[in-house]
Amino acid sequence: MKLPRRKFLHLATGAAALPAVSRIARAQAYPTRAITMAVPFAPGGGATAIARILAERMRVTLGQPLIIENVGGANGSIGVGRVARSRGDGYTLVLGLWNTHVANSALYALFYDVTKDFEPVSLFASNPLLIVAKNAVPADDLKGLIAWLKANPGKASQGHPGVGSPGHIGGVLFQNMTNTSFQFVPYRGSGPAIQDLVAGRSRPKNAP
């Protein structure tokens, strides 16, 4: 199946993708064994939650177990790269997001090509971006938060799943629109970022 680049990038917003499958593999009975789905972010985030819900429904429909494998790092490109190197037989999938199949291909020199090495399977989820802060922040609403950020430039930090992720780009847009300044802290996924937010840490545990 060949898709125009624009259409593929639209589908990749929330699609599960797999390496291009050969005609021989497509002609065989599928599936006959367990399927692995790589989630290219650390456990605990929204992507993992979606993958686990999807995995259970696919298990019932396909009659085979679906194994979730979290492979975080580099805004998802490490996990996607692992799937790109796998056999194109449909038994290794990746939970593709806007980060992994749109932004990364535009920002980085990757050893794989998201439009040639993967086939879109299904658009199955979309999610909004939220601004969440600790209760200790002296602001009760967005207006108050913006006022506090302006009065304390550079003192706040925002965690995000990686450079070029929607969270990162959304944060930059927020700064530009509100004329505020705060630091960005990249994580291997949104799960670890939320854990540090709850714990009141401003840097990942493994940060230098």
pLDDT tens sequence across 26-51: 556 899 999 999 999 999 888 999 99
pLDDT at 14 over 80: no
CA distance 90 to 1: 14
In degrees and rounded to multiples of 5, residue 12 shows phi and psi of -70, -10
- Specify the pLDDT at position 144: 96
Q: Within the chain, which residue ranges are assigned CATH 3.40.190.10?
A: 142-199
How large is the average pLDDT for residues 105-115? Answer: 91
User: What residues contact residue 184 under an 8 Å CB cut-off, 6+ apart?
Assistant: 157, 158, 160, 168, 171
Under the banding of pLDDT at 50, 70 and 90, the label for residue 16 is low
Instruction: Note the pTM of the prediction, 2 decimals.
Output: 0.69
pLDDT in tens, 120-141: 998 888 878 889 888 888 999 9
How large is the average pLDDT for residues 104-112? Answer: 90
Under the banding of pLDDT at 50, 70 and 90, the label for residue 111 is very high
- Specify the pLDDT at position 135: 87
- Specify the pLDDT at position 33: 96
pLDDT at 67 over 90: yes
pLDDT at 102 over 80: yes
- Specify the pLDDT at position 26: 52
The two counts, helices (H) then strands (E), for the chain are 9, 7
Lowest-confidence segment of 4-8, 26-30, 94-98 by average pLDDT = 4-8
How large is the average pLDDT for residues 176-189? Answer: 93
CATH architecture of 142-199: 3-Layer(aba) Sandwich (3.40)
Burial 145-170 (b: 16+ CB within 10 A, else e): bbebbeeeeeebebbbbbbbbbbbbe
- As a whole number of Å, the end-to-end CA separation of the chain is 45
Under the banding of pLDDT at 50, 70 and 90, the label for residue 199 is confident
Tell me whether the omega of the peptide bond preceding residue 31 falls within 30 degrees of 0, making it cis: yes
Which has more pLDDT, 21 or 41?
41
- Specify the pLDDT at position 207: 46
Return mean pLDDT, the chain.
85
